Amino acid sequence: MSELLRRFRYLLSYALLAALCIGAMASGQGPRDLGVASRLILKLTLPIERMVTLPVDEAKSWGRGLAELIQVREENAELRAQIADLRKENLRFRENLISSERFRRLHSFQASQEVQMASANVMHRDISSWFQSVIIDRGTEAGIQAGMPVVTDTGVVGVISGTASDASKVLLIIDPQSRVDAYVQRSRSRGSVRGTSIRGADFEYVPRGDDVRAGDLLLTSGMDLIYPKGLVIGEVRGVEREPHGLFHRADVVPSVDMQKLEEVFVVLESRQLPPDEAFVQSGEVLWSEAAP
């Protein structure tokens, strides 16, 4: 028996380790705190990686700055023309603002709350070509928890998918595993933004009759219970209209350039459904289980 075990030791070890991996994969992909081993790996590798990649990032950033400087002159002339247009538009918006004050009073029961945010720097980018995630330099010590949304001043970045004490993993909205419930700002059409990795994202499940056009701005609806309502996701690049079917699909350019991501903000507010027990205890149910 022991001879047999020794002979097949390698095969058995491989099978055992492979079973552990498959078990880990099957045990779910939801946001979670990183385990001790994962934290140790991050502690060991990230400082070394940062030491190596920081000079490279700095050089690339300097090069980008130089190229942008050359473009500034042309953009300056365009911007002056835009300022003139915007002044006219501004007048119109001021008029609208006065009328919206009335609606604002109606919603006064909703006490306006300052959302707390934690700023963080991107330390590591995904080394796999299939996935789109980054690791940031703030973790549970800064109050960050799995499931919290991550944004920048230009729009939505993603969601915290794993945390350690001083680092967190962010699943970007362009990752194929990512979904964001969204609506079109102009026509209020709702759908789901799904990451497509390198290409950006798709706006899906938009009913055929709904009005979606290239150039439309997509905002978070808040219905996915992760992102607050009204954050900018991106712009519709083109709409694919199928001759048959219930829905059409649009190609989306995220408002945040994920390749140039350097600093992000984590919204320190996790929006989650209350557990089922809470409904049971209060005598409420989400839907009736007993079908007639």
Partner 1 sequence: MIGALRLGALGIGMLVFQALLTALLPLGFRPDVVLVFAAAMGLQRGREMQGLVFAFGIGFAMDVMSGSPQGLYALLRGTACAATRVLDRALYVSTPLSWALYCGVYWVVDWLAVGLILQFLQPAAALPWAEIARNAPGAAVLTALVASALLGLFRRIDSGSERDTDWDSFGRGGQRVRP
Contact 54, 125 (CB under 8 A): no
Minimum CB distance to partner 1 smaller for 53 or for 270: 53
CB of 132 to partner 1, least distance (A): 6
CB of 256 to partner 1, least distance (A): 16
CB of 26 to partner 1, least distance (A): 8
The amino acid present at 182, given as its one-letter code, is: A
Minimum CB distance to partner 1 smaller for 124 or for 219: 124
Report the alpha-carbon angle 247-253-259, nearest 5.
140
Minimum CB distance to partner 1 smaller for 185 or for 253: 253
Report the interface residues with partner 1, using CB under 8 A.
9-10, 13-14, 17-18, 20-25, 27, 29, 34, 37-38, 41-42, 44-45, 48-49, 52-53, 56-57, 60, 124-133, 135, 161, 169, 171-172, 175-177, 194-199, 202
Minimum CB distance to partner 1 smaller for 179 or for 185: 179
Taking alpha carbons only, the member of 125, 157, 161 closest to residue 144 is: 161
CB of 203 to partner 1, least distance (A): 12
CB of 95 to partner 1, least distance (A): 43
Residue 140 CB: number of other CB atoms within 10 A?
16
CB of 195 to partner 1, least distance (A): 7
Contact 162, 124 (CB under 8 A): no
Minimum CB distance to partner 1 smaller for 15 or for 115: 15
Minimum CB distance to partner 1 smaller for 198 or for 291: 198
Minimum CB distance to partner 1 smaller for 52 or for 72: 52
Contact 265, 254 (CB under 8 A): no
Residue 123 CB: number of other CB atoms within 10 A?
20
Distances (CA, A) of 21 to 27, 228, 240: 10, 35, 39
C-alpha 181/C-alpha 169 separation (Å) is: 21
CB of 211 to partner 1, least distance (A): 24
Phi/psi of residue 268, nearest 5 degrees: -80, 60
Taking alpha carbons only, the member of 283, 270, 278 closest to residue 30 is: 270
Helices marked H in the chain: 2-7, 9-26, 36-106, 276-281
Residue 225 DSSP class: S
